[in-house]
Amino acid sequence: MKTHLIYKALYRLLAILKRQFDTLRCHVTFWGNNVSYKNFHSNGVPLISVARGGFCKMGENFTMINGAHGNPIGCFQPCTFFVDKGAKLTIGDHVGISQTAIICHNNIFIGNNVKIGGGVCIYDTDFHALDYRYRAIQSTDFAHKVNKPVTVEMNVFIGAHSLILKGVTIGENSIVGAGSVVTKSIPANQIWAGNPAKFIRNL
């Protein structure tokens, strides 16, 4: 029993030290990528790449869980933020995310009080051309990819392992069920789920 208590005490102490070190590393990562941010809490350190000419802003009281320790639901990757040249990623106040990938080639807006579950991916691009003839050549592949903005409005909850695709708007207060693939916009105050995501019921 005493060994167990010693282990728990050491684990807590190491967790505190790691959290402080992670916070310092986050500040450096944000600064190095020209990210606009205020106060935040982070378990672990995200992967961030903001291209020259890209814009990335994180609001007040932003919370990130990177890796499995803060949210052990089977997702082990850190949060990933990629903002391409000329693209704009805006995250509002009191937003919490876990092991989330947000890939912005155009414009992604996330409103206040949004919760994004473990392993969620948000893409505003197809990454590649849909026509195989363009995909065969790298220069034409990227030139013909389709980008469309994504908007996640206030108070939305996106369940774990969901995928939000280009051109989608998720209305205020709505919920996306875990494991959903969202290919079209969701009105406010509704629950959607499935692959592809479909209307379940009103809130």
Q: Report the percent of the chain where pLDDT is more than 90.
A: 74
In the chain, which residue ranges form alpha helices assigned H by DSSP?
2-32, 132-135, 138-143
Q: Whole-prediction pTM value?
A: 0.89
pLDDT for 87: 97
> How is residue 185 written in tokens?
């916009």
23-32, 99-108, 168-177, range with the lowest pLDDT: 23-32
Provide the residue range defining the domain that includes 7: 2-202
Tell me how far apart the alpha carbons of residues 194 and 170 are, in angstroms, rounded to a whole number: 15
pLDDT digits (tens, 9 = 90+) for 1-10: 577 777 777 7
pLDDT for 1: 54
pLDDT digits (tens, 9 = 90+) for 28-45: 999 999 999 989 998 889
Average pLDDT value for the chain:
92
Tell me how far apart the alpha carbons of residues 16 and 179 are, in angstroms, rounded to a whole number: 33
- pLDDT at residue 74 above 80? no
Catalytic residue positions, numbered: 128
Specify burial of residue 79 (Cβ count, 10 A radius: 0-12, 13-18, 19+).
Answer: buried
Contact 122, 139 (CB under 8 A): no
CATH code (residue 166): 2.160.10.10
Number of domains in the chain: 1
